[in-house]
Amino acid sequence: MGIEATVLRWGVIGTGRICETFVPDIQAAGGRVVGVWGRTAEKTDTFAQEHDIPFATLDLEQLLGRDDIDVVYVATPPATHLDLSVRALQAGKHVLVEKPMATSAADVEQLFDVARSHDRFVMEAMWMKFNPLHVEVVRRIQAGLIGEPRYVRGAFGMPFPAGGSRWDAALGGSTVLDQGIYPVTLAIWVLGQATELLATGTVRDGVDVTAQISMVHENGRTSQLACSVLEFVDPSASMSGTAGWVEIPAMFWATDVAHLHAGSTGALFGKPELLTRPREGNGYIPMIRSVTKAISSGHRQHPEHDLSATRSVARVLDAVRAQIHGEVRA
């Protein structure tokens, strides 16, 4: 499959809200969106016209069969990610699949296995790990800014209107998969693998709608995390250590500002250092640019978010959901 220098030709599977912001960032990052697949003709045609996409179809095989598409972005309900991504990989396309990559760690493993067998790139679109602010915060923490990292706190909770895939168990509806993935990813990124966890929460009609998660990580480090689609749960995060702490204000997974309470007496007990990294476009451009570079360089997994990283988070999400659904608190 030909790739013209670092210009990738994209096909998009889905026409929902996230695609409305993702497609412009593909184009701003230098990619060419060649085609889009959707479930209804009117919406798919309208989406294509609004985003200057030359080809729109309701036939997935038509999209995947095009020789002028190098990589496919999958942005449909979570329960459909595995099947659609496998079909794209089997058609010879590289795949970037919206988070969560799949609804279980076993399915994550399967996707990477299929990608490997077809010599194709696959990655979960966890854009927070490519956000310049978060990358710089973690770099400074790893360089010793807060001493030894010991504790992470993070939450993503807000009341979402009822309806849609978020509330449908058959489509993979789950606050743990949709919101909880962000604080879990942050905690593992900073503190390392989780070795123990305790989760409580609420389930309605087969969908986990709240979760409170306590984790123990390598070397006795700990994290306290929460997510909800029923109420607000302070959507900020902090990372604390033996020499200070970093605060990322709401919305912590998407913001371009952090407060560094470390590095000097003034920053600790007075005014923290303000760290800013302005957002590009809708926030996805750094990830798209990095994925483009990885694919063009011949990588089949992204060095910054590979199978190991995706699997570690997926296993925690599996365990959290198993504990919550085992309780089944109405």
**Per residue of the chain (330 residues), what is the pLDDT tens digit?**
444 447 999 999 999 999 999 999 999 999 999 999 999 999 999 999 999 999 999 999 999 999 999 999 999 999 999 999 999 999 999 999 999 999 999 999 999 999 999 999 999 999 999 999 999 999 999 999 999 999 999 999 999 998 888 999 999 999 999 999 999 999 999 999 999 999 999 999 999 999 999 999 999 999 999 999 999 999 999 999 999 999 999 999 999 999 999 999 999 999 999 999 999 999 999 999 999 999 999 999 999 999 999 999 999 999 999 999 996 554
Q: What is the pLDDT of residue 1?
A: 41
User: pTM for the whole thing?
Assistant: 0.95
- 55-57 β-sheet, strand order: 55-57, 32-37, 9-13, 71-74, 94-98, 122-125
- Please answer whether residues 125 and 99 qualify as being in contact, where contact means their C-beta atoms are separated by less than 8 angstroms: yes
Q: What is the pLDDT of residue 191?
A: 98
Q: What is the pLDDT of residue 162?
A: 86
Q: What is the pLDDT of residue 247?
A: 98
Q: Could you give the C-alpha distances from 129 to 134, 302, 308, in angstroms and in order? A: 7, 11, 14
Judged by DSSP in three states, 36 sits in strand
Q: What is the pLDDT of residue 327?
A: 62
Helix (H), strand (E) at residue 134: helix 132-142
Dihedral sign for Cα atoms in the order 228, 234, 237, 240: negative
Phi first, then psi: give them for residue 181, nearest 5 degrees.
-60, -30
